[in-house]
Structure 1
Amino acid sequence: MSLDQGLVDWVSEALAPIGEVTMRRMMGGATLYCDGTIFAIAAMDDLWFKADAVSDPLWDAEGAERFSYARKGRIATMNYRRAPGDVHDDAEAMIRWAQIAIAAGRRSAK
């Protein structure tokens, strides 16, 4: 698994109107921040937005699966949701969903 730099570049370009996107590499992927707030990870060849109990109903309604991975023979999950398909080619969709994730990131920082 390698980091899709093109995806990270697209996220940065699409979100430029709302803030600066930075990244920190992690195990073959990257953690993404908008103006210092964690909001997504780029991993497993896709984009996963930060979620929480407040935003989970929105992600559930969209059918966005929860991030999961195998760890020591078990399936572990993290509170990230697969980005809806339209964010990959629609800047307005990227902004709309990223703002939900940024809000979750802000809530988790408290």
Structure 2
Amino acid sequence: MAVDAGLVAWVAEAMAPVGTVTHRAMMGGATLYCDGVVFAIVADDALWFKADKVSDAEWDAAGAARFTYSMGEGRTGSMNYRRAPDEVHDDAEELRRWAALAIEAGTRGPAKRKK
């Protein structure tokens, strides 16, 4: 599965007033960072924002589905990401609003240990 380069470019363009968006390849998708903070992933040609226990209620109220994936043998796993509301795909202000929630979740997450 290829990463939707147009979607990644749109997110970077829309987020320019907030910070610099970079990305890294991740299992057929991409992890998106805003000024070094993980805030989203692009997988299955969709944008998924980082969530956590603090922000879950807001994502639930918006009807944003959780990111799930097949683990084989009929098992399903999930990650702390929520599907971006439809309006973020054509409204930069809405994208920034939801991304701000995701960036907050990213900053609350545990810091990565250096090797």
The answer to whether structure 1 residue 37 and structure 2 residue 37 are counterparts is: yes
**Counterpart amino acid of 2:60?**
D
Query: Which segments of structure 1 move beyond 3 Å, counting only runs of 4 or more?
Result: none
For the residue of structure 2 that corresponds to 1:59, the secondary structure is helix
Corresponding residue of 1:109? 110
What are the Cα deviations for residues 36-69 of structure 1, in whole angstroms up to 9, with x where unaligned? Answer: 0000000011000000000000000000000000
Kindly report the root-mean-square deviation, in angstroms, between the aligned alpha carbons of the 2 structures: 0.7
Q: TM-score, normalised by structure 1?
A: 0.98
Structure with the greater alpha carbon radius of gyration: 2
The answer to whether structure 1 residue 97 and structure 2 residue 98 are counterparts is: yes
For the residue of structure 1 that corresponds to 2:109, the secondary structure is helix
Corresponding residue of 1:24? 24
**Counterpart amino acid of 1:91?**
A
For the residue of structure 1 that corresponds to 2:19, the secondary structure is coil
Q: Report the alpha carbon displacement of residue 29 of structure 1 after superposing the two structures with TM.
A: 0.6
Distance 1:109 1:19 in 2: 21
**Counterpart amino acid of 1:14?**
A
Q: TM-score, normalised by structure 2?
A: 0.93
| Higher helix proportion | 1
For the residue of structure 2 that corresponds to 1:109, the secondary structure is coil
Unpaired runs of at least 5, structure 2: none
Identity of aligned residues (%): 64
Give aligned pairs, total.
Answer: 110
